[in-house]
Amino acid sequence: MYVQSLAPLTKMQTYSFDKILESVEEMSDDEQLTLVELIAHRITERRRDAIASNIMRANEEYSQGQVFRGSVADIMAELER
């Protein structure tokens, strides 16, 4: 499995994580696959919620005139000011 990043774990978190891994190892292959699918689904839902939140915020900023619109050249010129 690919992990994007892991925050440093405290001793208590590491202990809990180790216990979780041990519990998963005791599961059948089918149960492990179901768990992986469930976790993947939850991650997808959180990402979808984050995207929806970003869209709402962008729409609010756009309606308040806080969005810069223009060509790439316009944007570069604005950044150089």
37-59: pLDDT as tens digits: 999 999 999 999 999 999 999 99
Q: Helix, strand, or coil here: 26? A: helix
Give the model's pLDDT for residue 70: 87
The pLDDT confidence band at residue 22, using thresholds 50, 70 and 90, is very high
**Mean pLDDT along residues 3-19:** 69
Mention every residue, 6+ apart, whose C-beta is less than 8 A from residue 9.
Answer: 17
- Quote the pTM value: 0.62
Distances (CA, A) of 76 to 5, 10, 42: 33, 45, 39
Q: How far apart are CA 13 and CA 57, in angstroms?
A: 34
Contact call for residues 40 and 33 (beta carbons, < 8 A): no
Structure tokens at 24: 């998963």
